[in-house]
Amino acid sequence: MKPTLVKPVEANLLYLASRDTPATYMASEAGGDIPEHKGEYVRQPVSIQNARPINDKLSLDREGFRLFNQSTEVTDFYDDNQIATTYESEVKRSVNEALTALGESVTHIDIFDHTRRTSSEAMRKALKVREPASIIHNDYTDKSGLNIRDDFFEKDQAMQETLKDRRFVIINVWRSIGGTVQQSPMTLCSADSIDTDDVIDVERYTKNYRGEVQLAVWNPKQQWYYFPEMTMQEALIFKTFDSSKDGRARYTIHTAFDDPNSAADSPARESIETRCLVFL
C-alpha cells in the first residue's frame, strides 16, 4: 500500500541565530547523554512541503536529494554482520543507479560510516545508538569533505594515483529500520533555494575527534521538503559534499523535525544512515 499523501506542515526548525555568533557542533556518543551545541540558536517556523508528488522531478545535482525504492534482504539492521555482508551491497547498487541516472559514470564507491538512530530514549540507551539530529546542518564543509577523501587514500594508497584527481561526492543513504516513519522524520532544504551566506562552517567535536560541519541561518527563500510515511522499502539519497564547483548542488542542509501529523502514541523512529565516498 502506498503511503498517504499529506498537505504541507508547519514546524519550528532550529537555526543558528546569527552568522556572527561563534558556535560548535557537539556530536553525541551512541547511547550516551545528548550534549548541548555551543552557540546561540533560534527556532524558526517554516512550511515543509510534501515532496512525494514531485519526486520524479527532483535531482541530486539541483535540489540535492531524491527518494528511491530500495528493497532489502536485511532482517536485522542492528546486526553488524548483515550490514557488512548484505546491506552495503544494496547501498552501493542504489547509489550507482542514482548517479548513473544523472549520466555519471561511477568509478569507485567506498562506504565509511553507518549511524543508527532512534527517537526513543530508552531504545537509544539500550541499543547504544544516537538520537535524531535536531539542528539544521550539513555533514561536511570544503575542508572536512576533502579530509574524508584523504583518509580513504591513507587506507588504500594503491587507488590514490587513479582517483586523486577525480571529482568525488559524499552521499548519504537514509532509511527506516523499524517500520513506517511517523516520529521525527527527515526534512531537507532544496539546495537551489540556499544562498551562499546561509551556511556557516563550524567545528564539530566528538569524544576523540575534531572536524567541521555546516550550520545554517534562516532565509525566507529557503524551501523545505519531506517524504511523509517513509517505509522500509524506500531510501532517501542526498548529497552532503561535491568536490565540483560548477554550479551543481554541493550540500544539502537537513534536520529531523516534530511532525504535527504524528500521533502522540506513534512508534518511535528507528533509522540508519550510510555515508558513501563516491568517485566519478
pLDDT digit string, tens, across residues 125-179: 999 999 999 999 999 999 999 999 999 999 888 889 899 899 999 999 999 999 9
Over range 121-126, report the average pLDDT.
Answer: 94
* Sequence spans of domains, the chain: 9-279
**Residue 29 pLDDT:** 86
| 84 Cβ contact list (under 8 Å, min separation 6) | none
What's the whole-number mean pLDDT along residues 249-268? 94
| pLDDT-based confidence at residue 72 (cuts at 50, 70, 90) | very high
Specify the pLDDT at position 133.
93
- C-alpha grid cell, residue 233: 522499502
The answer to whether the CB of 277 falls within 8 A of the CB of 170 is yes
- What is the DSSP pairing of strand 41-50 with strand 224-226? parallel
pLDDT over 70 at 82, yes or no? yes
Which DSSP category does 265 fall into? T
Q: What is the pLDDT of residues 197-236, one digit of tens each?
A: 999 999 998 877 789 999 999 999 999 999 999 999 999 9
Cell numbers representing residue 222 in the block: 529557503
Mention every residue, 6+ apart, whose C-beta is less than 8 A from residue 101: none
Q: What does DSSP assign to residue 268? A: P
Give me the pLDDT at residue 6, please. Answer: 60
Residues in the chain: 280
pLDDT at 32: 86
**What are the DSSP E strand ranges found in 93-183?**
108-118, 137-138, 168-176
Q: Which three cell numbers stand for residue 10?
A: 508547519
- Of 98, 27, 134, the closest CA to residue 278 belongs to 98
| Structure confidence at residue 187 (pLDDT) | 98
pLDDT confidence of residue 42: 97
Q: What is the mean pLDDT of residues 104-111?
A: 95
**What's the whole-number average pLDDT of the chain?**
94
Q: What percent of the chain has pLDDT over 70?
A: 98
Provide the β-strand partners of residue 44.
13
Question: Residue 4: its pLDDT value, please?
Answer: 46
Question: What is the residue type of 194?
Answer: I
Q: Residue 259 to residues 47, 184, 222, 268: CA-CA distances in angstroms?
A: 11, 7, 19, 12
Q: What was the pLDDT predicted at 2?
A: 42
The residue written with cell numbers 542514482 in the block is: 98
Please, which residues have CB within 8 angstroms of residue 224's CB and are 6 or more apart in sequence?
Answer: 13, 46, 47, 48, 49, 187, 188, 189, 190
Give me the mean pLDDT over the 20-29 stretch: 88
Instruction: For residues 244 and 239, give the distance between their C-alpha atoms in angstroms, rounded to a whole number.
Output: 12
- Give the pLDDT mean for 73-77: 96
